[in-house]
Amino acid sequence: MATANPAMNEAVYQRAGYAESATNVMTLQGTVMKTAVLLGILVVAAGFTWGKVAAGEMELAYGLLIAGSIGGFITALVTIFFPRASPFTAPIYAALEGLFLGAVSRVIETQFPGIAIQALGLTVGILAMMLFVYGTGIIRATEKFKIGVVAATGAICLVYLVSMVMSMFGARMSFIHDSGPIGIGISVVIVIIAALNLILDFDFIEQGVARQAPKYMEWYGGFSLLVTLVWMYLEILRLLAKMRGGRD
């Protein structure tokens, strides 16, 4: 278990093997550029659905939200199981997630003006901070650190799964979703764990470069990092909504 992010499992590099030539090797610079391209695609797609919601085209926006959510999940699974396809599937995933995030963000923005830019700013700030502490060695991805983050992330996934099952039967885990001190505290913890996952993601990408993985893994590395960033942004958005007195 190299990371709690399912897209960044060490077995992926084992399946990918090594680059066939020195010119076909995964590099850190290449991964950064690929990640920037994916983020650009996501922002453009998000701006599209944001505009549709702002224009009152709710039926279209809702359809794009559903398509982005389901399509993004399916595309992520395809990318995880077939990393070689990541140069094609990673941009598609970024576009679909952008459609989803844009619609969700604009709807919440209507209820809480200014919340989207705050969530975006905090996401970028946390990303920069995690890059700094990882690059300077303040936080290292040791085995104990990895196990702790993986266990914490797994616990969050389990709680979310139980909450989803309960909601299907009309029940609700109110302490998770309410805007009270407990609900806010839980969201703070989740955001912290999501941020710590970035450390594991950076380490995983660095391992790929050290292993001389094939160059297409640059797209896969960018996709994997994007998965964590999308999760962290959504959790920050939920936290800010709770702090303003909103409910999920």
248 part of a folded domain: no
**What DSSP string runs through 153-203?**
HHHHHHHHHHHHHHHHTT---HHHHSSSHHHHHHHHHHHHHHHHHHHHHHH
Q: Is 101 among the domain residues?
A: yes
Q: Which residue has the tokens 């990371």?
A: 3
Contacts of residue 90, defined as CB under 8 A and 6 or more positions apart, other chains included, come to 34, 38, 79, 219, 220, 222, 223, 226
Q: Evaluate whether residue 134 is within a structural domain.
A: yes
**pLDDT tens, residue by residue, 148-174:** 998 898 888 888 888 888 877 777 776
pLDDT tens for residues 56-87? 888 898 999 999 999 999 999 999 888 899 99
Identity of the amino acid at 12? V
Rounded to two decimals, the pTM is 0.88
Name residue, tokens 């990318």.
79
Computed over every residue of the chain, the mean pLDDT equals 87
Q: Which of 30-34, 156-160, 205-209: highest mean pLDDT? A: 30-34
Give how far Cα 86 sits from Cα of 99, 177, 243, Å. Answer: 19, 35, 38
Number of domain units in the chain: 1
2 within some domain: no
Domain residues for 74?
Answer: 10-243
Query: Which tens digit of pLDDT belongs to each residue from 89-105?
Result: 999 999 999 999 999 99
Residue 128 lies in a domain: yes
pLDDT at 2: 40
Q: Given this model, what pLDDT does residue 13 score? A: 59
Q: Give 133 or 14, the one with higher predicted confidence.
A: 133
pLDDT, residue 4, reads: 46
214: which 2 tokens?
Answer: 């094939």
Question: Would 83 be classed as within a structural domain?
Answer: yes
Query: How many C-beta neighbours within 10 Å does residue 220 have?
Result: 31
Q: Is residue 5 part of a domain?
A: no
In a domain, 3, yes or no: no
